[in-house]
Amino acid sequence: MAEFAKSGNCFSCGLKSSMFCLLTDIQLDEINSNRQQVTFKKGETIFKSGGPLTHILCITSGMVKIFLEDKNNKKNLLLKIAKPTQLIGGPGFLVDELHHITAIALEDTKTCFIKVSDFKEIMAENSKFAFEFIKYRNERVIFYFQRLMDLTHKQTHGKIADTLLYLANEVYGSDSFDTLLSRQDLADMSAMTKESVIRIIKEFVESGIIACNNHHHFEIMDKNKLIKISKTG
């Protein structure tokens, strides 16, 4: 198992320019000695909504889908795709110490488990670390605000445009990408049915806005048009 970089620098596991850069050697040692590395296979559940929040996770490699679950209606809402160097844990921290989101590995994924108690201790000692955490949280809130507006006020074309732009810009960093997400996942992300997703993707392909082969390769051909569709809803 790789050790963390010393001297207030980032994790050796790839965590660059994150809040962990703010830690002292002593604090890094403390986290380092208590952390556990765990590997998940594709499709495995990393943690589940309602379960105890004992650790904050850092993704070392792989990809994870994070979503809200509804027991009654079995309708999920996919919130984000988490990638390496991102922390996942959720808002139960300092509240009820429960998970409010579910995380499932989209491919084989390595994670570091950091004890919540270590997290708290360091946060109490190191105010810059706490500030960075609040900043991170607030950024997420701004993101969810946008999600609330988009999912409640836009119609299907706009929502699919949003989902495709999110994947290209935020997840894959390219207008041409292969995704691990199923049509149902795209539907859960856009708050609609998989049938509607399929129909709109077909429309987008027919009008030359995107290309799509073998179900999982996407290419954005006319990004301006897609952005316009996203804006007009």
The burial class, CB within 10 Å (0-12 / 13-18 / 19+), for 142 is exposed
Lookup: tokens for 113:
């488990």
E strand residue ranges, 6-76: 36-40, 45-47, 55-61, 64-68
Q: Which partner in its own copies, DNA, none is near 211 (CB below 5 to 8 A by kind)? A: none
Contact 125, 117 (CB under 8 A): no
Q: Which residues bind to DNA, rule: CB under 7 A? A: 155-157, 182-184, 191-196, 198-199, 201-202, 214-216
Nearer to its own copies, 152 or 214 (CB): 152
Pick the piece of the chain touching its own copies (CB under 8 A) from 15-23, 33-41, 104-112, 121-129: 121-129
Between residue 170 and residue 199, which ones bind its own copies under the rule CB under 8 A?
191
Q: Which residues pair with 68 in a beta bridge?
A: 77
Cα–Cα distance, 189 to 201 (Å, whole number): 14
For its own copies, the binding residue among 12, 18, 86, 100 (CB under 8 A) is 100
149's CB contacts (< 8 A; 6+ apart) are none
Instruction: Examine residue 68 and tell whether it contacts its own copies (CB under 8 A).
Output: yes
Instruction: Examine residue 135 and tell whether it contacts its own copies (CB under 8 A).
Output: yes
- Residues within the interface to its own copies (CB under 8 A): 68, 70, 72-73, 75, 77, 79, 91-95, 100-101, 120, 123-125, 127, 130-131, 133-135, 137-142, 144-145, 147-149, 151-153, 191, 231-233
